[in-house]
Structure formats: structure tokens, C-alpha cells
Amino acid sequence: MAGSSHLIVDEPVVQLGRNLTFGLLDSIGRAIVTGQFGSAVFPTEAELAKQHGVSRSVTREAVKMLTAKGLLSARPRQGTIVQPTSSWNLFDADVLRWMLERQLSIDLLRQFNELRVAVEPEAASLAARVAGEDDIRRIDEGLCRMQAAECGFDDPLEADIAFHVAVLRASKNPFYIQLREVVSTALRTSIRFTNRIKGRTADVAEHAKVRDAIASRDPDVARIAMRTIIGDVLVLIEDRIPSIE
């Protein structure tokens, strides 16, 4: 495929890394998500094993994992079939990462931030009611990292992610907490995109308002402050859609 030479299925075995199963999972998963199989018949386990220079057991395990993620299905007399996007588990961090690493999709970024605005403000509001001292300390640490990043002493991306994940954890809602890997994975692309447009990192003062509201046990202010942060991102994305090729 022209323009996508970095997403080739038949990579040398050395590129699969120490863990052959997860290396093969990553290689085939990327190929499926980027449409490299298209309407072609998906290879058999024997063909995949030969193509990648790995054992049948490694191939079988990788195919099972891809099936669990909704990318593949095995049917009697039909073999293994690539599933449509509608069947993929979009809450699986690997699937989301593969989707975000293909050609930049503004629609996907917008949809992800629409999910965030439905979840994170409520998580912040919950955190203001139920967060313990350790939870608030982790939020403080995330904010301190963001402040340090502005001075070049920390990674802006990792600091921003640490803050948002700390808020999810502070909600003590297991469903919100389960989203931390999804949020972390997608934020890596979303933050890079928005920071490139703005020419700067996240607004630390706005994030501090979230922290202050949680520490002050003010659920309504925490909700509004977090919604403001994500709402600004959505506006930024919408404003840029016409100029993205």
C-alpha cells in the first residue's frame, strides 16, 4: 500500500521483540486495522507461522487474542475471517491504539473527546465527593508534573495523562477506572494533535481548577471545570476540521 510502508504485515522476526506472541499480535492487529487484508482471504495459522517465522502455537495464541478483541472470527468451513469495524472492541487499548496510529482521523479524535466529555466531568464530580487523601495526592502529583513540564522538567504528555488518570481513579467508580487505559491511549494522540495546533501544552490553570474543586469537595465546580477543559478541545478539533486534508 502506497504511503503506509511502516505498517507492513510481514516484518522480520527480529522486529517482533522478545515476546513473539504479543509481537505477532501487534503486527497482525495493525495490518487488520489499516485494511491491509481488505477483501483477501485471511491466512491460515500455518501460513501466518511460516510468513512470520514463528511456531504454530504462537500464531494460534495471537489469533485467539485478536478474536477476543473482535477483529477476527473463526467459522466452520469458512476459516478465519476479518470482522468489520462495527465488531471491534473499541474499548480495548490495543485496538484503539492501532486505530489512532493509522492515518490521522479527525472524526475519531472528535468521537473520543465526545466520550471524554460524557465521562470525565462526572468522574471529577464523583471524586469531589468520595476521593480520599491518597487520591487527592495523586491528582496533586499530576498537576505538579504538568507545572514542571512547563519548565522543561517533565514530559508534558505523560504529565497531562497522569492528571486525568488520577481523577478517574479518584472517582472510585470501577467502570470509570476501567477506562483509564483507553483514556491514556487515546490522549497520547489527542494531546499531541491539540498541542500542535495551540503551539503550547495543556492549560495548567484550568487543570488546577479541577484539582481545587475536588480538594474543596465541590462536585458541581469540579464537573464544570473538567467539562471546560474537554469542551475547549472539542472546539479546537471542530475548528480545524476544514483545514485537515
Q: Are residues 114 and 154 in the same domain?
A: yes
Q: What is the pLDDT of residue 107?
A: 81
Range of the domain at 40: 13-87
Q: Tell whether the torsion through CA atoms of 189, 193, 194 and 200 is positive or negative.
A: positive
Same domain as 232, residue 121: yes
Helix (H) or strand (E) holding 80: strand 79-82
Residue 169: per-residue pLDDT: 97
The stretch 196-218 carries a mean pLDDT of 87
Same domain, residue pair 73 and 110: no
46 & 111 share domain: no
Q: Which domain CATH number covers 184?
A: 1.20.120.530
User: What is the total residue count of the chain?
Assistant: 245
CA distances from 113 to 74, 233, 235, 241 (A): 33, 8, 10, 14
CB of 186 closer than 8 Å to CB of 230: no
Whether residue 161 is predicted with pLDDT greater than 70 in this model: the reply is yes
pTM of the model: 0.79
CATH number for the domain spanning 44: value is 1.10.10.10
Can you give the pLDDT at residue 237? 82
Examine the domain organization and report whether 116 and 216 are in the same domain. yes
Contact 187, 142 (CB under 8 A): no
Q: Is the distance from CB of 49 to CB of 55 less than 8 angstroms? A: yes
At residue 5, the pLDDT reads: 35
User: Which pLDDT does position 117 carry in this prediction?
Assistant: 93
Phi, psi of 6 (to 5 degrees): -85, 0
Looking at the structure, tell me whether residues 147 and 229 fall in a common domain: yes
